[in-house]
Amino acid sequence: MARSRPASRWTLLFSLVVLLGCMVIPGWTVKHENFKTCAQSGFCRRNRDFADNASAKGEAWSSPYELDPATVHFKDGHLTGVLIKTTANEKVLLPLTVSFLESGAARVVVDEEKRLKGDIELRHDSKANKKRYDEAEKWVIVGGLEVSKSATLNAQAETGFTQVLYGPGDKFQAVIRHAPFGVDFQRDGQTHVQLNHQGLLNLEHWRPKVDRPEGEEAGEDESTWWEETFGGNTDSKPRGPESVGLDITFPGYDHVFGIPEHADSLSLKETRGGSGNHKEPYRMYNSDVFEYELNSPMTLYGAIPFMQAHRKSSTVGVFWLNAAETWVDIVKSTTSPNPLSLGASSKTNTQTHWFSEAGRIDLFVFLGPSPKEISKTYGELTGYTQLPQHFAIGYHQCRWNYVTDEDVKEVDAKFDKYQIPYDVIWLDLEYTDDRKYFTWEPLTFPNPTGMQEKLDESERKLVVLIDPHIKKEEGYFVQEELNKKNFAVRNKDGDVYEGWCWPGASNWVDCFNPAVISWWNSLHKYDRFKGSLSNLFIWNDMNEPSVFNGPETTMPKDNMHYGDWEHRDIHNVNGITLVNATYQALLERKKGEVRRPFILTRSYYAGAQRMAAMWTGDNQATWGHLAASLPMVLNNGISGFPFAGADVGGFFHNPDKDLLTRWYQAGIWYPFFRAHAHIDTRRREPYLISEPHRTIISQAIRLRYQLLPAWYTAFHEASVNGIPIVRPQYYVYPDDEEGFAIDDQLYLGATGLLAKPVVAENANTADIYISDDEKYYDYFDFTVYQGAGKRHTVPAPQEKVPLLIQGGHIIPRKDRPRRSSGLMRWDPYTLVVTLDKNGEADGSLYVDDGETFNYERGGYIHRRFHFRESVLSSEDLGAKGPKTAEYLKTMDGVTVERVVIVDPPKEWREKSSVTVVEDGAKTSSAAPLEYYKQQGKKASYAVVKKPNVGIGKTWRIEF
């Protein structure tokens, strides 16, 4: 008793400390005060007020925009005309173009005549461009703009409308209402996308600032028109208010997906409050959001203003091509078409409201009807995912920071000692000499080439960080050249902009300037970036850009870029201009050494997928962040940028062993698979973790490596038709409404592999939703799960990754563990076959040298595997080119060493061999077959050993 009293006092004290600790750990939540809410952002508030006013007026509201019928022309797939905005004092002319594209997409552009003519005055002696920013497409659009030859004006059914038939088989129609202006996009006679249906079109036209005598009130609330102050920084707004806004309604759709990057569910939530909804619109203003929060519409590092609306059997989409700060409100309303008709089912309409601070309205509309068609058409415009170098799809080991070149070599050796494969080790900030990029810290990295040579022995790579802020220091060659060449971003007064970032006082390289590209290129040459070898690649971080002392941790909006564009105009594409420069630089670091670049970028916009991988920035070592990473990665995939991942283990704080283990088991399903950690965290390389966790993590990484052939094939598919590498439920089963909101399980490419990572503490089962009535087999022991439209409980003890294979697939793998993916290049393949209800299966394999662009000239193998009528065959999907023969020769000895058939016909019990026939061979040979009986719920399987058919050849195995 005597000891218990002090003990309880201690407990009390301890609890108090913990409590206080909880209250003062600032790092665990985002600093809300650093970022604007909608109410704190002038144009956001104005556009929301505009919407509120319209909805308050209800039927009495009429949008003040009309299309002047006398101006309408239709020629060669383009409809042009002039919108007239009627205000109290004037009629504002807004040129409109609607282009009907061969791909089936339609593009709607609205500009402002006065701005196009330069007929405006700028305030504060600003030198800013007078036009509305119209160059976003320079960075974003790479194709798909051919106009439709068959689009035609449809006979005018009623006056007051212009109608255009377009799209495949003329199935699409744009019904353009003149007054008030609006467009209904129809497919097969049904409306799927409506513009200005709610009447929220709002283009804030240019007007001069009227200085009123004191006491005289303006007619409208002008408080945010001419200047705006936030966090001590005043934005001078030389062009005054200039936002654009539009409502886009999806009638009959109740799920919308896309508009990354947000830490939120895949199916986007409503944003005007109410239970389970957000109160704020989804914001897209690329920002360094330190310790971001979950379930939030807050902006993050990247933005892709591309949205898909989905309902049973139909997907449509829109892409809002605007590089300025953008917000999107989402409201769903339920309507019953006719309350008196019994049994009439109510339907949900999703109303979205988009507004950007500056620029034009430039909108693409896609009418699907499937998610795959949307991906394809959107990808044609913004480009498909770059086919990465093969190493890039292996495991990446990063931390801030490996402290010396010896440290790097030691980590490298430890991975080998513990037989854990990895491909890339990363150097964060501290490898540089005092945060000066393109230099090495002389004391800690005295021998960078020795380090890279060591890595190269096992075909491993090094990635180093290069940020866009250039340290302001006399004598630093990059800084001196930057200034001499006039390549830095300027402030509103035309002086070189100076801000604060990792190196302290810095300037920012302006990659909008085409001349910067060749300079940036030169900096990456071996003789300029001394000590770098050909196995070094680049990480572009902080490119939102992050500016520690800037408004909302970025640049002032009135900063100036090449072309006299204000930072306001281009903010969201800023990040990809750096990536573009780096991409050009890495293409050919030395004459003749042409290779696919590898770049990781934190900031992004539509189009980034052509050049880089992304990750979700500074997450935290919590179960919540682990769970959030899945919808975030899936969302990026359906938004055209599938080479995505999250920091495995969590960037901030120290994960416990269980969390770290589960994170690896989840991370192997990120297309970009990298562990990373903050400088203040404890070391956590997988070999440092005690048993049994070390083995479990190693096995997870090995599973990734085993499946690399399937991954690379999925990357290839994304690179030619835009289909995500990992796919959410709705995407794979677009007709199954039960699955639309599921965002915690994923499909790897078209392999039939369905993974459901465990993301909850202490969970030892996983409920996997199965949509169809095929059999699904546990990947490891072939336990059968079957039953459509329900969840199946799969055991998931700590050592287990919940993973099923759907019946009907042929999955290529490589089963021999090696130190790196490069060392697996010549290893033989295993094919895993699961039969569908008809006893058939399909699969494919894509493989090339994993490094050069020779695949563009036929240097690749692309096979389709079939299993039909007891014959497994390999058929060529490739087209021949000048590099085909050479590549096939290098792959000559690479064979299939094993075929595993899961759940084969019972008669195979009696079989002991199969017949193997290779293309061109006059004779056939026999390969042994072993049959393993069914055990309880575990399906039987058969193994063909050493059929040794060439992976690049046409062959048959007859069972």
Q: What is the DSSP string of 384-412?
A: PPP---GGGGSEEE--TT--SHHHHHHHH
Nearer to ligand NOJ, 441 or 618 (CB): 618
Q: What angle do CA 850, 852, 854 make, to 5 degrees?
A: 100
In terms of Cα–Cα distance, which of 881, 883, 871 is closest to 956?
A: 871
Q: Among candidates 708, 702, 703, 655, which has minimal Cα distance to 677?
A: 655
Question: What does the alpha-carbon distance between residue 392 and residue 390 come to, in Å, rounded to a whole number?
Answer: 5
DSSP-derived letter for residue 733 is: -
Q: How far apart are the first and last CA of the chain?
A: 79
CB of 424 to ligand NOJ, least distance (A): 15
* Residue list 387-446, contact with ligand NOJ (CB under 6 A): 400, 428-429
CB of 429 to ligand NOJ, least distance (A): 4
> Whole-number minimum distance, CB 949 to ligand NOJ, in Å?
45
Quickly tell me which residue has 């490119």 as its tokens.
Answer: 543
User: By rule CB under 6 A, what string of x and - marks binding of each residue 707-726 to ligand NOJ?
Assistant: --------------------
Nearest to 249 by CA among 182, 174, 179: 182
Residues 646-665 that bind ligand NOJ (CB under 6 A): 651
Phi (first) and psi of residue 948, to 5 degrees: 50, 35
Pick the catalytic residue from 362, 407, 544, 558.
Answer: 544
SS3 777: strand
Binding residues with ligand NOJ: total (CB under 6 A): 10
For ligand NOJ, the binding residues in 736-775 under the rule CB under 6 A are: none
Residue 612 and residue 608: Cα distance in Å, rounded? 6
What sign has the CA pseudo-torsion 14, 19, 22, 24? negative
Does the protein bind ligand NOJ through residue 727 (CB under 6 A)?
Answer: no
CA dist 630 and 592 (Å) reads 40
Nearer to ligand NOJ, 618 or 743 (CB): 618
- In whole angstroms, give the CA distance from residue 802 to residue 777: 11
The secondary structure of residue 886, as a DSSP letter, is H
Exposure class string for 827-845: b at 16+ Cβ within 10 A, else e: bbbbbbbbbbeeeebbbbb
Comparison of 306 and 652: residue with beta carbon closer to ligand NOJ: 652
Q: Which amino acid type is present at position 156?
A: Q
Please give the residues from 777 up to 806 whose contact with ligand NOJ meets the rule CB under 6 A: none
Amino acid letter for position 346: S
Choosing from 617, 631, 858, 950, the residue that interacts with ligand NOJ (CB under 6 A) is 617
Nearer to ligand NOJ among residue 192 and residue 471 (C-beta): 471
Tokens of 788: 């459509």
465 vs 759, beta carbon nearer ligand NOJ: 465
In this complex, which beta carbon is closest to ligand NOJ, that of residue 328 or of residue 398?
398
> What gap in Å lies between CA 304 and CA 787, rounded to an integer?
37
Asked if 465 touches ligand NOJ (CB under 6 A), the answer is yes
Q: How near is the Cβ of 471 to ligand NOJ at its closest, in Å?
A: 14
The Cα-based distances of 54 to 223, 224, 435 in angstroms read 21, 20, 52
Catalytic residue, chosen from 204, 242, 441, 618, is 618
At 257, which helix (H) or strand (E)? strand 255-258
693 neighbors 660 (Cβ within 8 angstroms): yes
Answer yes or no: 569 catalytic: no
Distance CA 380, CA 721 (A): 8
Compare residues 36 and 602 and give the one whose CB is closer to ligand NOJ: 602
Helical segments of 668-802, H only: 693-706, 708-721, 729-732
Rounded Cα distance between 369 and 380, Å, is 16
Q: Which is nearer to ligand NOJ, 544 or 717 (CB)?
A: 544
Residue 541 is a catalytic residue: yes
Out of 235, 541, 778, 848, which one is annotated catalytic?
A: 541
Q: Are 390 and 850 in contact (CB under 8 A)?
A: yes
Single out the residue of 247, 261, 618, 903 in contact with ligand NOJ (rule: CB under 6 A): 618
For residue 627, the SS3 value is helix
Using CB under 6 A as the binding rule, the residues of this chain from 529 to 548 that contact ligand NOJ are: 541
Rounded CA gap, 638 and 722, in Å?
9
Residue with smaller CB distance to ligand NOJ, 566 or 647: 647
Query: Could you give the 3-state DSSP secondary structure of residue 305?
Result: coil
Smallest separation, CB 44 to ligand NOJ (Å): 26
The CB-nearest residue to ligand NOJ is: 400
Task: Give the nearer residue to ligand NOJ in terms of CB position, either 618 or 918.
Answer: 618
Tell me the CB-side half-sphere exposure of residue 913, using CA atoms within 13 A: 7
Q: Which x/- pattern over 880-899 shows residues binding ligand NOJ (rule: CB under 6 A)? A: --------------------
Residue 261 or 541: the one with the smaller Cβ distance to ligand NOJ is: 541
Q: What is the DSSP string of 181-193?
A: TEEEEEETTEEEE
Burial category of 944 from C-beta neighbours within 10 Å (exposed 0-12, middle 13-18, buried 19 and up)? buried
Q: What angle do CA 857, 860, 866 make, to 5 degrees?
A: 135
Smallest distance, ligand NOJ to C-beta of residue 99, A? 39
- Least distance CB 467 / ligand NOJ (angstroms): 7
CA neighbor of 347 nearest in space, from 270, 269, 426, 253: 253
User: Which lies closer to ligand NOJ via its Cβ, residue 285 or residue 437?
Assistant: 437
Beta bridge partner(s), residue 927:
914
Interface with ligand NOJ, residue 676, by CB under 6 A: yes
CB of 398 to ligand NOJ, least distance (A): 8
**Least distance between ligand NOJ and beta carbon 764 (Å):** 32
Min CB(438)–ligand NOJ separation in Å: 16
Closest separation between CB of residue 651 and ligand NOJ, Å?
Answer: 6
In the complex, what is the shortest distance from the CB of residue 617 to ligand NOJ, in angstroms, rounded to a whole number? 5
**For residue 273, is it left (φ>0), alpha (ψ between -120 and 50) or beta?**
left
Shortest Å, Cβ 618 to ligand NOJ:
5
Q: Per-residue x/- marks for ligand NOJ, 348-387, CB under 6 A?
A: ----------------------------------------
Comparing CB distances to ligand NOJ, the nearer of 427 and 523 is 427
Tokens describing residue 33: 């005060």
Q: Would you say the C-alpha torsion 904, 799, 635, 729 has a positive or negative sign?
A: positive
Tokens, residue 625: 């962040």
SS3 624: helix
**Which spans of this chain sit near ligand NOJ (rule: CB under 6 A)?**
400, 428-429, 465, 541, 602, 617-618, 651, 676
Which residues are part of the catalytic machinery? 541, 544, 618
